Amino acid sequence: MKHYTHIKDLSDLKTTIKDAILLKMDPFKNQDIGKNKTLMMLFFNSSLRTRLSTEKAAKNLGMSVMTLDINNVWKLEFEDGSVMNMNSTEHIKEAAHVISQYADIIAIRAFPTLTDKKKDESELILKSFIKYATVPIVSMESATGHPLQSLTDAITISEFTEKRKPKVVLTWAPHPKALPQAVANSFIETMQLMDVDFTITHPKGYELNPEIVKDSNVTYNQNEALKDADFVYAKNWSSYNNYGQILNQDTNWKITKEKLGQAKFMHCLPVRRNVVVDDDVLDSDQSIVIQQANNRTFAAQIVLKNILEQL
């Protein structure tokens, strides 16, 4: 694996999940593999879990870590051939090449604009780093995907399932802000690779990219979707067709204890209490969001380990 920007960059998801669970049992076993190697983490956007868990993962492997909140440095230009006489100070061609001399792996977080669908779908920032950097690139959430989160989710479901083929439901939930589709996209793509009975539910108008959803089961009836679920994954996303718009804030889509039934509750976090999900769900033993967040470290660690092994 040279880069990790999509769940399909893993040659075998099932084996990767098993390896991540083994790493979790003995996280410092591979301290030599990252010796004298540096991870550079570049953040165009905020983070709590991704930032800390990826740093922890790298350090568990013996790597050094540098972190740059890139909006605090020179404004980067991404367009080829642009005349840089306005606000941009440094072109990605120089920046990516220079950063590659300081790091062995570059990890990047760059959210979508949610106003320019074409630009977001082009993954300009991530793809520019892949083009101009000379070291492997890891996505820490891009405009359209969050593959470290979805690998985490797959590990968590594998750890907690008591069935060979659990029923997993991805449900849209209300939120006051327009959020990216990235987490939902990657979760769908990952569930499509797993042996699960998978359903997506959302209000009308919140259909996701059909090239990602493919033939996954989708219903507008949340109660029907949640029936007999083993795992309920709640997430808000803004409209894909009316790009980046909030079309619905119907509180009836919030996850309650009654709706959850016997299922485990999952969310990538951060989560807005009593907007997305009730307190009594998050505070119950059925919520596995804390254990899920812990697995962020081991998802990142198995990805970094696989890349380091091929350097």
**Please, which residue, 47 or 122, has the CB nearer to ligand CP?**
47
CB 296, min distance to ligand CP, A: 7
Is residue 3 a known part of a binding site? no
The answer for residues whose C-beta is within 8 angstroms of residue 235's C-beta and 6 or more apart is 170, 171, 172, 173, 183, 184, 187, 267, 268
Helix (H) / strand (E) element for 201: namely strand 197-201
* Secondary-structure breakdown of the chain: helix, strand, coil percentages, each rounded to the nearest 5: 40, 15, 45
**Please, which residue, 92 or 299, has the CB nearer to ligand CP?**
299
Is residue 75 a known part of a binding site? no
**Please, which residue, 170 or 268, has the CB nearer to ligand CP?**
268
**Please, which residue, 149 or 222, has the CB nearer to ligand CP?**
149
Cβ atoms of 200 and 217 closer than 8 Å: yes
Is residue 237 a known part of a binding site? no
Rg (the chain; Cα; Å): 19
**Please, which residue, 141 or 230, has the CB nearer to ligand CP?**
141
CB 201, min distance to ligand CP, A: 21
Is residue 272 a known part of a binding site? yes
CB 180, min distance to ligand CP, A: 11
CA atoms of 45 and 3, how far apart (whole Å): 20
CB 45, min distance to ligand CP, A: 8
Could you list the residues that contact ligand CP (CB under 6 A)?
Answer: 47-50, 141, 149, 268-270
Cβ atoms of 168 and 198 closer than 8 Å: yes
CA atoms of 244 and 248, how far apart (whole Å): 12
Is residue 273 a known part of a binding site? no
Whether the upstream peptide bond of residue 270 has omega within 30° of 0, thus cis, is yes
CB 87, min distance to ligand CP, A: 26
Is residue 264 a known part of a binding site? no
Residue numbers belonging to the annotated binding site for N(2)-succinyl-L-ornithine = 141, 175, 235, 272
Residue numbers belonging to the annotated binding site for carbamoyl phosphate = 47-50, 74, 109, 146-149, 268-269, 296
